[in-house]
Amino acid sequence: MTPEAFDAIDVIRAKRDGGAVPEPALRWMVDAYTRGYVSDAQMAAFAMAIYQRGMERSEIQVLTDAMIASGERMSFADLGKRTVDKHSTGGVGDKITLPLAPLVAVFGVAVPQLSGRGLGHTGGTLDKLESIPGWRADLSNDEMFAQMQGDVGAVICAAGTGLAPADKKLYALRDVTGTVEAIPLIASSIMSKKIAEGTDALVLDVKFGNGAFMQDIDRARELARTMVALGTDSGVATTALLTDMNTPLGLAIGNANEVRESVEVLAGGGPADVRALTVALAREMLSLAGQPDADVEAALDDGRALDRWNAMIRAQEGDPAAALPAPNETHDVVAERDGVITRMDALPFGVSAWRLGAGRARAQDPVIHAAGIDLVVKPGDRVTAGQTLFTLSADDESRFGRALEALDGAYEIGDTAPVVGPIVRERITA
């Protein structure tokens, strides 16, 4: 039996004491953990040391590369098109991937959108799309390649288990050891999968605010800069937008209702904030793909984006014309006084939708596709006493109690309209 090249305790101590872990030792640590030689307890200690001490840029690059090397690496070199992807750090009502992928594909750019399912208050893209009767998330690499190479040009599907398996193992450990928030671990987790995916370019939607993973804009900026550097250093053209997630995005929070709202955007309508962010991200993606002057708004307004959506859904065996799931029970929340909506905090609305059944507490839990919240108003809107502010939907009225508890103090009616800033706050480049 060949002896191991390093000792996990030495690697843990090096980081615990504030030093940089040498590249060979860091690569070994990731590989040994993936193989099962390094225990969960040892990797948990190492993750906590990273959380407390941080990592140098060179260390994060090595960590990311080691996680990529733990699995397969896809390539779209033979596709005959530029490929560009988008990743969002997640938020409440964030359905942007749905209208964005077909919109960008209109311009002859391939969009390989490998997505996941939701856990907690942030919804999963695949959960939303699985509201559509017949739609299939699990595609082989050959099916994915064919869909992007052909007339559809875009695919939203589940990521294969072969991409960065070290990250999958480490992510589950971080979730139960209080180390989720460590920027080096977040950045290497996201970017190892995106780089292994093999896309030419990547746009990151890094959210900040009370409904985001990073509530503080400075921390969000640090995360964005770290990920842009990782992508750039790995040969992937990468930029990031810092976007506001203090208020739910759009009017729909859930699964089926977010699909419905996405289709409205693809048809040239929809809420102004969803359209604005979709357009901003599409422009960024197309600029990286060599089309900085593409008229993305025209593609929304003239039906081309909707046609591409219908083709994408049909290609994955879904029926874009089928009725979406409808809730068994609804409950309206009304204004108690005249005034103007001054605040709607994203996080409580996300938690409320989760309690209604739109999300899951454990990976194996099902979601209720018809459950969620439909907003009627947003901050800045004037309301009158008795007017409906939002509607809760569920399969069972017994869910309404805890969902309403989550919303206690989550919104406010005042006398003076708030200042509503732009949804995109900053652009981060290499």
Q: Are residues 197 and 101 in the same domain?
A: yes
What does the pLDDT read at residue 175? 77
Last residue of a domain, one of 39, 69, 99: 69
- Same domain for 223 and 299? yes
Domain membership of residue 316 (yes or no) is yes
Q: 254 and 216, same structural domain?
A: yes
Judgement on whether residues 43 and 175 belong to the same structural domain of the protein? no
Q: At residue 145, what are phi and psi to the nearest 5 degrees?
A: -60, -45
Residue at a domain's end among 322, 348, 383 = 322
- Give the CATH number, domain containing residue 336: 3.90.1170.30
Q: What is the CATH number of the domain that holds 120?
A: 3.40.1030.10
Q: Which amino acid is it at 342?
A: T
Does 250 lie in the same domain as 156?
A: yes
Q: Active-site residue 427, yes or no?
A: no
Residue 132 placed within a domain: yes
Give the orientation angle of helix 8-16 with respect to helix 23-35, to 10 degrees.
Answer: 130
Shared-domain flag, residues 341 and 300? no
Look up the CATH number of the domain holding residue 56: 1.20.970.10
**CA distances in angstroms from 174 to 186, 253, 257, 283, 381, listed in the order given:** 10, 27, 32, 34, 41
Total Cβ atoms within 10 A of residue 149: 15
Distances (CA, A) of 71 to 43, 192, 233, 380: 19, 10, 20, 49
CA gap 345, 208 in Å, rounded? 12
Q: Are residues 355 and 284 in the same domain?
A: no
The segments of the chain whose pLDDT lies below 70 read 1, 118-123, 363
> Does residue 273 lie in a domain region?
yes
Q: Is 369 a catalytic residue?
A: no
Active-site position among 70, 115, 131, 189: 189
Query: Per the domain annotation, does 307 fall within a domain?
Result: yes
Set 174, 225, 275, 399: catalytic member: 174
Task: Give the structural domain span for 392.
Answer: 329-414
> Looking at the 3D structure of the chain, how many domains does it have?
3
Q: Do 54 and 90 fall within a single domain?
A: no
In terms of Cα–Cα distance, which of 197, 189, 128, 187 is closest to 162?
Answer: 197
Same domain, 132 and 197: yes
In a domain, 45, yes or no: yes
Tell me which residue of 421, 359, 425 sits closest to 394, measured CA to CA: 359
70 catalytically annotated: no
| From 127, 167, 205, 374, active-site residue | 167
Q: Which of 160-163's residues contact partners 24+ apart within 8 Å by CB, and which partners?
A: 160/72, 160/114, 162/71, 162/72, 163/71, 163/72, 163/74, 163/114, 163/193, 163/196, 163/197
The verdict on residue 369 lying in a domain is yes
Options 15, 86, 87, 121, the catalytic residue? 87
pLDDT of amino acid 177: 87
Task: Based on the fold, state whether residues 178 and 275 are members of the same structural domain.
Answer: yes
The total of other beta-carbon atoms located within 10 Å of residue 414's CB is 12
* Domain-terminating residue out of 275, 290, 322: 322
d(CA 84, CA 285): 6
Mark whether 305 and 373 lie in a shared domain. Answer: no
pLDDT for 361: 72
Determine whether 58 is an active site residue.
Answer: no
The strand pair at 84-88 and 201-208 is best described as parallel
Do 165 and 60 fall into the same domain? Answer: no
15, 193, 207, 355: which one is catalytic?
193
Q: pLDDT at position 282, please?
A: 98
Query: What's the per-residue H, E or C state across the chain?
Result: CCCCCCCHHHHHHHHHCCCCCCHHHHHHHHHHHHHCCCCHHHHHHHHHHHHHHCCCHHHHHHHHHHHHHCCCCCCCCCCCCCEEEEEECCCCCCCCHHHHHHHHHCCCCEEEEEECCCECCECCHHHHHCCCCCCCCCCCHHHHHHHHHCCCCEEEEECCCCCCHHHHHHHHHHHCCCCCCCHHHHHHHHHHHHHHHCCCEEEEEEEECCCCCECCHHHHHHHHHHHHHHHHHCCCEEEEEEEECCCCCCCEEECHHHHHHHHHHHCCCCCHHHHHHHHHHHHHHHHHCCCCCCCHHHHHHCCHHHHHHHHHHHHCCCCCCCCCCCCCEEEEEECCCCEEEEEECHHHHHHHHHHHHHCCCCCCCCCCCCCEEEECCCCCCEECCCCEEEEEEECCHHHHHHHHHHCCCCEEEECCCCCCCCCEEEEECC
d(CA 236, CA 99): 23
121 is catalytic: no
Nearest to 86, CA basis, from 201, 209, 220: 201
Could you give the C-alpha distances from 299 to 94, 110, 279, 283, 312, in angstroms and in order? 21, 16, 10, 12, 16
User: Could you tell me if residue 421 is inside a domain?
Assistant: no
Does 100 map to a domain? yes
pLDDT in the model for residue 124: 87
